[in-house]
Amino acid sequence: MDAEKTSPYDFYQYWRNVADADVEKCLALLTFLPMEEVNRLGGLKDSAINEAKKVLAFEVTKLVHGETEAIKAQQAAEALFGGGGDLDNVPTIDVKPEQIGSLLIDVLVNAKVFSSKREARQMIEQGGLYVKDVPVNDVAAKLDGSQFDADGLIVRKGKKKYYRLIMGK
């Protein structure tokens, strides 16, 4: 797997979001965990299955991208979904000072968050783009420098794709 095509974070998230019914099979086929542990994790139900999904995501990411990248992906997921933590490993986009005041969709298309302006507009019209957990409802919304804080600016595409915009130089 090429980390340029699918980042370790996105790869980790894919496995983190696998269907509950597939977790045990994936653990058995794609990891080197002992079968006793696979069976224990596969037997978890309801919200407890999330423990198994975290193990699956970490183990498969570690095999494909290495332990360091797996740890970074795990830390980024915890920071975004666990209610705190270090945002340093969240997928990051450098925003140049001259981009402040530009259309948000132009900045996001430029950064390859969206493949086209059409896709970005559709996402906004469907209520699926968020800045600081607030839905963006105007396709003409501009990137405002005052939106940034010390950690940057968190943008969410859909339910689970997060990006951290930081002010570059």
| Strand 153-157 to 92-95 pairing | unpaired
The answer, as to whether pTM is greater than 0.85, is no
Q: Under DSSP, is residue 4 helix (H, G, I), strand (E, B) or coil?
A: coil
In DSSP terms, which residues pair with 157 in a beta bridge? 129, 161
* pLDDT, tens only, 123-167: 999 999 999 999 999 999 999 999 999 889 999 999 889 999 999
Question: For residue 88, what pLDDT is reported?
Answer: 84
The residue to which tokens 């299955």 are assigned: 49
In DSSP terms, which residues pair with 134 in a beta bridge? 131
Domain ranges of the chain: 8-89, 92-167
Question: For residue 163, what pLDDT is reported?
Answer: 94
Average pLDDT, the chain: 93
| Strand 92-95 to 161-167 pairing | parallel
Specify the CATH superfamily of domain 8-89: Tyrosyl-Transfer RNA Synthetase (1.10.240.10)
Please give the CATH number for the structural domain made up of 92-167: 3.10.290.10
Eight-class DSSP state of 158: T
Q: CA-to-CA distance for 131 and 62, rounded, in angstroms?
A: 31
* pLDDT, tens only, 73-119: 999 998 888 766 678 888 899 999 999 999 999 999 999 999 999 99
Question: For residue 32, what pLDDT is reported?
Answer: 97
* pLDDT, tens only, 1-54: 787 788 999 999 999 999 999 999 999 999 999 999 999 999 999 999 999 999
